[in-house]
Amino acid sequence: MSYEFRLPDIGEGVAEGEVVKWFVHEGESIAEDAPLVSVLTDKANVEIPSPKSGTVLKLHAAEGEKVKVGALLVTIELLVDSTTTAPVAPAAPVEPSPPAVAPPPAPSPTVHPPAGGRVLATPHIRRLAAEKGLELSRIHGSGPGGRITEEDVRSAAAPGGSPTPSTLAPVPTAATSPAPPIAPLPATEGAKPPIGGAESPADIERIPIRGLRRVIAEHMAEAVHRAAHFTYVEEVDATELVRTREKMARHLEKNGVKLTYLPFIIRGVVAGLREYPHMNAFMDDDRQELVVQRRFHLGIATATPDGLIVPVIRDANTKSVAQIARELQDLGERGRVGKLTRAELTGSTFTITSLGMLGGVLATPILNYPEVAILGVHRIVRRPIYGPEGTLVPAELMNLSVSLDHRALDGITGAQFLSVVKSYLEDPHMLFAEMA
């Protein structure tokens, strides 16, 4: 009798896997639970054991080929009738198998591995049981041939769902009369250490990654996967910038506008991008081209209750510090309540990320892919520096970090760009002369 084995569910959210390596060839014999195939998913590299003993008739996927969950992987000619519930040695006589056209037998609710027998479960199921502190040998398997399913594990982990004598099948024996049921072990006896140190489901909280959070996760993963990140850091003496902002803030606040350091930094970034235009670009990976932008649409990473968004200051080179301050305030207020349009959240050519007062000392920002550069802004800290004639004077110091896609930009380009930004911020009066 032939058995068709399909790619099982090997991880939550996994829809397909890539066949990395077959451990058998067509025509070879394989034992149950022996290594069958290695499959790579977006989560991990998983080694799948053979579900049956027999001879490999057909491998239905080549190494390097992607296979959907549920798709046919391999056909195995079985050594024994798969409806037999008791262990059968390979040398024992085999009953005639049913016709190949017959449908597979329905799962038997009484199937359970005998004491000391093999536990049939995929790596995903074994990992799930370990997370919940359950011993697989104590769980009733409702799948084909007594295989343990995800539902079996979750049922056993539910309140009042621990295995009991009524849920455990009798041990098959050669006697005609059934053997007494197996007595259950205490719930903690022989249990594997739970993952993460949790003692029970009540000790953990599982938060679904959905909506904006899932979009962020996918976007960040794509950026790290595709781009070759390189970060360069520069220290800026922001003493004069602090004075200038304080003077301007008093006038703007009379009109209800809050002036932060970001408008000055945006103007400094525009000056840097003018001199090093390849920083104002994105990678077209499909065509293997660097697409340099002639307009300056600066994305500003903004925290919201649901996650990070990036509203865009369009044509930042045409706007004054005061105009940028007003626009930032409006975008920030509407962004926090989810009222920004898609047009206001797309189309950036360069991104700036800042945590303001919580900006820390240093960070390595992840690119807003497919952009090739992003600037990280860190908090301003007062520290002493050497002034004229070796005297110590107080200064307002700030770190800026720029991450680059090293496929398109060399480190020297990032350093030169940041040097320009630094010069404008250390002498902010230059910013008012740097207009469109």
Burial string for 419-436 (b: 16+ CB within 10 Å, else e) reads ebbbebbeebeebeeeee
**What is the CA 104 to chain-centroid distance, rounded?**
38
Q: Cα separation of 90 and 100, whole Å?
A: 21
Q: Among 60, 219, 229, 406, which one carries the catalytic annotation?
A: 406
- Cβ(403)–Cβ(380) below 8 Å: no
CA-CA distances (angstroms) from residue 344 to 226, 262, 280, 335, 352?
25, 18, 18, 10, 15
Q: CA-to-CA distance for 372 and 230, rounded, in angstroms? A: 10
Closest to 46 (Cα-Cα) out of 68, 70, 20, 26: 20
Is residue 306 left, alpha or beta, with left meaning phi > 0 and alpha meaning psi from -120 to 50?
alpha
225 classed as catalytic: no
Q: Which residues fall within 8 angstroms of residue 62, CB to CB, at 6 or more apart?
A: 19
> For residue 169, how many other CB atoms are within 10 A of its CB?
20
Neighbours of 286 (CB within 10 A): 6
Token code pair at residue 400: 């800026």
The catalytic residues are: 406
